[in-house]
């Protein structure tokens, strides 16, 4: 053993080798933020080192790397997200700041990059590609990402990808704007992240032929085989970890392009279940050998992302690693980034950075009254184009024509019809639309949120104009937020002052408010496993199959608008 003194010597460890998918008993030497020695057995006597740790047989794995995620889904600023994710073992993410870009454009993206700089968590960036989500003018959006902006941002060293190309129908139809954006990203050597929930065969090929390098949407076995065989990197999020999908993946003779990702994680799940760790655990619980599951969350994403010498315990590789009691035992005993201990027993051991500069909200609303939720149709009966929820664990929707009665613009909701009012108000006050949704389970009260995918216009869903006005008024206080109310008043509230979609409050407080919001919605009858996810994606105009915007009902596959009510 030669060379200068080590910074850290770890002995008696069980070391995960993600290349050979095995663990072995051995020791590690670390210097200058990198592993120098990764050896079996015991170190030779007298290795010069500043510190020594006896691991007592604990498992050492690489830090977890999340190749597809949106920090905004936690409703937290980057530093608060890092405070939540690092203690659970996530040491590196590719963040697609899609939500903040939708609200605040270039200023929002730059804010996110600035707020993430210098954190212990390694944050790489994808430039959001679909802001607005489509070129089809299906909603009012607050910002635009252009090819020119992609070229401006692509030079930054932390930018390594173009964010998910969600407008798959637009791209297959040859959308010029999107092709320009992809061309700009490709010419800078960026990865081009995909999002392709519903294409197969020649249409899938047409989509991928633009240079798309991955997909992370809901999988099923045939889709897995086709995506892999057509060269797309396969990203499995929680909802894709069905037994039949796991079986299909484990049958692949080469799984080097398969990885686990979080995509969206709400603050309550981040606090109680962890971050990418929870996906690793879920994969293990569903039959993925633990060494495979870790490789899919360490080496394989690092390889995909082109992050050289990251994602493994090997000489010369970055010393980002976890000390665990055993394969699935999260949170880790300790978390190291660049050879420095950053978290211990589920807690950060030092603050992770600054909140970032202020980023005010552009929401133009103040107070709402019940009249804001009346339908401007001078009719007593009509047919409504109703968006109906299809499942209690995914966000798929359909369209139904339902006869409704109107009384002075007020939609009459019956006790057993499982209908609710939905209203979307554009952030700039220029546009609004009111309609009906079905099969939420909501029996009373109202929900309002200035965080609603992707344009983050104000979304209000409820059983009465009175409750909706109360919820909407509170949600808009201080620039934005989420609120639940019944006719008697506001029941739960989470302020989101940063651009109206994020907060710099600590995770514990945010998770607690978030739980109150979801618990209230469940008390009001909602059956969905994740009420906020379901509601906040009712406005997502690129997610199958029917959504609601400030301009009416959106037919996602056809990329067109449908009026909420049919005026006979």
Strands 49-54 and 6-17 come out as: parallel
What are the CA-CA distances from residue 344 to residues 322, 324, 567 (Å)? Answer: 10, 11, 62
Residue 490 beta carbon to a copy of itself: minimum distance, rounded to whole angstroms: 50
In angstroms, rounded to a whole number, what is the distance separating the alpha carbons of residues 475 and 504? 17
Residues recorded for the chain: 568
Residue 1 beta carbon to a copy of itself: minimum distance, rounded to whole angstroms: 5
Residue 120 beta carbon to a copy of itself: minimum distance, rounded to whole angstroms: 23
Residue 332 beta carbon to a copy of itself: minimum distance, rounded to whole angstroms: 22
Residue 315 beta carbon to a copy of itself: minimum distance, rounded to whole angstroms: 4
Residue 250 and residue 34 in contact, taking contact as beta carbons nearer than 8 Å: no
What are the CA-CA distances from residue 76 to residues 113, 294, 355, 494, 507 (Å)? Answer: 14, 26, 10, 11, 7
Which residues neighbour 176 within 8 Å (Cβ) at sequence distance 6 or greater?
Answer: none
In angstroms, rounded to a whole number, what is the distance separating the alpha carbons of residues 37 and 155? 34
Q: Give the nearer residue to a copy of itself in terms of CB position, either 154 or 406.
A: 154
Residue 291 beta carbon to a copy of itself: minimum distance, rounded to whole angstroms: 8
Q: Give the nearer residue to a copy of itself in terms of CB position, either 316 or 478.
A: 316
Strands 546-549 and 458-462 come out as: unpaired
**Interhelix angle for 78-85 vs 98-116, to 10°?**
80
Residue 19 beta carbon to a copy of itself: minimum distance, rounded to whole angstroms: 5
In angstroms, rounded to a whole number, what is the distance separating the alpha carbons of residues 138 and 141? 9
3-class state of residue 251 by DSSP:
helix
Residue 250 beta carbon to a copy of itself: minimum distance, rounded to whole angstroms: 11
CA 300 to chain centroid, in Å, comes to: 19
Q: Give the nearer residue to a copy of itself in terms of CB position, either 165 or 483.
A: 165
In angstroms, rounded to a whole number, what is the distance separating the alpha carbons of residues 89 and 332? 6
Q: Which residues bind a copy of itself (CB under 8 A)?
A: 1-3, 17, 19-21, 34-39, 44, 172-174, 189, 191, 201-202, 204-213, 225, 228-231, 252-257, 295, 303, 306, 308-309, 312, 314-317
| Spatial CA neighbour of 329 closest among 287, 284, 298, 295 | 284
Q: Give the nearer residue to a copy of itself in terms of CB position, either 24 or 273.
A: 24
Residue 524 beta carbon to a copy of itself: minimum distance, rounded to whole angstroms: 46
Residue 48 beta carbon to a copy of itself: minimum distance, rounded to whole angstroms: 13
Q: Give the nearer residue to a copy of itself in terms of CB position, either 207 or 546.
A: 207
Beta strands in 121-277 (DSSP E): 122-127, 159-165, 191-194, 214-215, 233-236, 258-260
Q: What does the block give as tokens for 438?
A: 């079905």
Q: Give the nearer residue to a copy of itself in terms of CB position, either 12 or 211.
A: 211
Q: Give the nearer residue to a copy of itself in terms of CB position, either 254 or 366.
A: 254
Q: Give the nearer residue to a copy of itself in terms of CB position, either 202 or 272.
A: 202
Q: Give the nearer residue to a copy of itself in terms of CB position, either 34 or 70.
A: 34
Q: Give the nearer residue to a copy of itself in terms of CB position, either 228 or 482.
A: 228
CA 164 to chain centroid, in Å, comes to: 11
What are the CA-CA distances from residue 526 to residues 250, 294, 442, 460, 463 (Å)? Answer: 36, 35, 5, 15, 12
């Amino acid at each position: 053993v030669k060379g200068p003194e080590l910074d850290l010597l770890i002995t008696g460890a069980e070391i995960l080798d993600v290349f050979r998918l095995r663990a072995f008993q051995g020791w590690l030497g670390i210097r200058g933020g990198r592993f120098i020695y990764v050896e079996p057995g015991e170190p030779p006597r007298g290795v010069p080192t500043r510190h020594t740790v006896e691991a007592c047989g604990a498992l050492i794995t690489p830090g977890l790397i999340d190749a597809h995620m949106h920090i905004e889904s936690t409703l937290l600023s980057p530093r608060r997200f890092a405070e939540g994710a690092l203690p659970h073992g996530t040491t590196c993410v590719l963040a697609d700041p899609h939500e903040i870009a939708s609200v605040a454009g270039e200023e929002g993206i730059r804010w996110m990059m600035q707020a993430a700089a210098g954190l212990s968590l390694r944050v790489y960036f994808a430039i959001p590609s679909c802001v607005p989500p489509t070129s089809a003018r299906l909603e009012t959006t607050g910002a635009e990402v252009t090819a020119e902006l992609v070229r401006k941002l692509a030079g930054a060293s932390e930018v390594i990808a173009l964010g998910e190309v969600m407008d798959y129908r637009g791209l297959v139809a040859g959308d010029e704007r999107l092709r320009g954006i992809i061309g700009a990203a490709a010419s800078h050597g960026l990865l081009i992240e995909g999002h392709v929930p519903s294409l197969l065969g020649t249409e899938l090929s047409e989509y991928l032929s633009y240079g798309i390098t991955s997909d992370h949407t809901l999988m099923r076995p045939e889709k897995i085989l086709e995506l892999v065989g057509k060269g797309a990197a396969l990203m499995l999020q929680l909802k894709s970890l069905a037994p039949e999908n796991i079986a299909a993946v484990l049958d692949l003779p080469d799984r080097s392009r398969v990885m686990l990702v979080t995509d969206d994680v709400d603050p309550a799940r981040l606090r109680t279940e962890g971050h990418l760790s929870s996906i690793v655990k879920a994969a293990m619980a569903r039959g993925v050998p633990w060494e495979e599951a870790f490789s899919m969350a360490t080496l394989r994403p690092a390889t995909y992302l082109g992050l050289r010498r990251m994602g493994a315990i090997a000489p010369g590789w970055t010393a980002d690693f976890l000390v665990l009691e055993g394969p699935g035992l999260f949170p880790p005993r300790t978390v190291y980034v660049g050879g420095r201990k950053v978290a211990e027993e589920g807690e950060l051991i030092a603050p992770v950075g600054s909140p970032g500069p202020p980023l005010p909200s552009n929401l133009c609303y103040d107070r709402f009254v019940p009249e804001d939720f009346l339908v401007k149709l001078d009719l007593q009966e009509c047919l409504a184009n109703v968006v109906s929820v299809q499942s209690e664990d995914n966000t798929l929707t359909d369209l139904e024509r339902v006869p409704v009665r109107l009384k002075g613009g007020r939609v009459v909701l019956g006790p057993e019809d499982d209908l609710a009012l939905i209203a979307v108000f554009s952030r700039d006050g220029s546009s609004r639309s009111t309609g009906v949704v079905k099969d939420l389970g909501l029996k009373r009260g109202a929900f309002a949120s200035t965080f609603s995918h992707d344009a983050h216009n104000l979304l209000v869903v409820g059983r009465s104009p009175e409750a909706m006005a109360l919820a909407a008024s509170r949600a808009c206080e201080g620039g934005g937020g989420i609120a639940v109310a019944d006719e008697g008043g506001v029941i739960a509230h989470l302020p989101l002052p940063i651009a109206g979609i994020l907060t710099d409050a600590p995770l514990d407080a945010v998770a607690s408010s978030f739980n109150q919001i979801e618990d209230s919605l469940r008390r009001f009858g909602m059956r969905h496993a994740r009420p906020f996810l379901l509601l906040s994606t009712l406005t997502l105009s690129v997610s199958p199959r029917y959504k609601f915007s400030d301009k009416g009902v959106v037919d996602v596959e056809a990329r067109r608008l449908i009026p909420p009510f049919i005026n006979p």
